[in-house]
Amino acid sequence: MSDEAINNKDDVDNKKVNKEEESALKNKSRDDSLEDKIEETPEIKIKTLEEKIARTLAEMENQRRRFEKEKDEAFEYGGFSFAKEALNLIDNLERSKQILKNDETLKNSDALKKTLEHFDIINKDLISIFSKNNIKPIESLNKKLDPNFHQAMIEIEDDQKEPGTIIQEIQKGFMIKDRLLRPSLVGVSKKKEDNDKNNEKNIENKDKK
């Protein structure tokens, strides 16, 4: 086959491809136009608007619920920080009592007794005010250590109590409604160590060396 014949054949093939591409583009354009017309029908527009309105109403309802929850929490626990700071008053009263009790010059004096009585009255009044505002002390003594309410500071040897029992309250803890305001700082019991056994272990260790 001559070069001229080959060229003519290529031209014919290229024209066929171009016509096919042009036809495909026209068909696609026609299909897109039909889809646009379908999307523009009133029924579909109404359905789309209904879906948008439903989503908007759902979002508004979620926001309303969040707002109500935040409002309730602000009302219930809005004084949390203030209450926590106010506990310092009780702590300072207790420290002042201990300082006065340890003062050798005041021991067994009437002045000390009267002062301590006044301190106790003030302390009871504070506890009463806290209680009226749903701030209540945590009961700790003779109870099992609960990490949700107590924080163990020291262990004290005591065979009379079950290990892990609170036998000393270093600082009183408080709750505000169902929330922990601060944990109780406590001392818990542990079994006394057997000195004879410890001595035997020490002797054994020395012998091994």
Task: CATH number of the domain at 176, please.
Answer: 2.30.22.10
Between CA 4 and CA 138 the distance in angstroms is: 106
Q: Is residue 81 part of a domain?
A: no
The residue-averaged pLDDT of 187-192 equals 90
Q: Is residue 115 part of a domain?
A: yes
Q: Which of 136, 137, 170 is nearest to 151 (CA)?
A: 170
Report the percentage of the chain scoring pLDDT > 90. Answer: 21
What pTM does this model have? 0.55
Q: Is residue 127 part of a domain?
A: yes
pLDDT for residue 7:
44
Residue 181: its H or E element: strand 179-182
End-to-end CA distance of the chain: 108
Ranking 99-103, 172-176, 185-189 by mean pLDDT, the lowest is 99-103
Q: Domain span at residue 103? A: 87-133
pLDDT tens, residue by residue, 63-90: 777 777 766 665 566 677 788 888 888 8
Q: Is residue 77 part of a domain?
A: no
Q: Is residue 78 part of a domain?
A: no
Domain match, 102 and 124 both:
yes
pLDDT level of residue 195 (50, 70, 90 thresholds): low
Residue 207 has pLDDT above 80, yes or no: no
Between CA 109 and CA 191 the distance in angstroms is: 39
Kindly state the DSSP code that residue 191 receives in the 8-state scheme. Answer: P
Q: Who wins on pLDDT, 173 or 205? A: 173
Q: Is residue 10 part of a domain?
A: yes
Residue 1 has pLDDT above 80, yes or no: no
Residue 133 has which token pair? 């505002």
Q: Is residue 39 part of a domain?
A: yes
pLDDT for residue 208:
56
Domain match, 208 and 147 both:
yes
Domain match, 40 and 108 both:
no
What is the domain count for the chain?
3
Domain match, 188 and 208 both:
yes
Q: Is residue 80 part of a domain?
A: no
pLDDT tens, residue by residue, 111-120: 888 889 998 9
Domain match, 144 and 97 both:
no
Domain match, 160 and 180 both:
yes
Of 30, 47, 72, the position where a domain reaches its end is 72
- Give the distance, in angstroms, between the CA of residue 138 and the centroid of all CA atoms in the same chain: 20
Domain match, 112 and 162 both:
no
The residue-averaged pLDDT of 16-41 equals 54
Domain match, 29 and 59 both:
yes
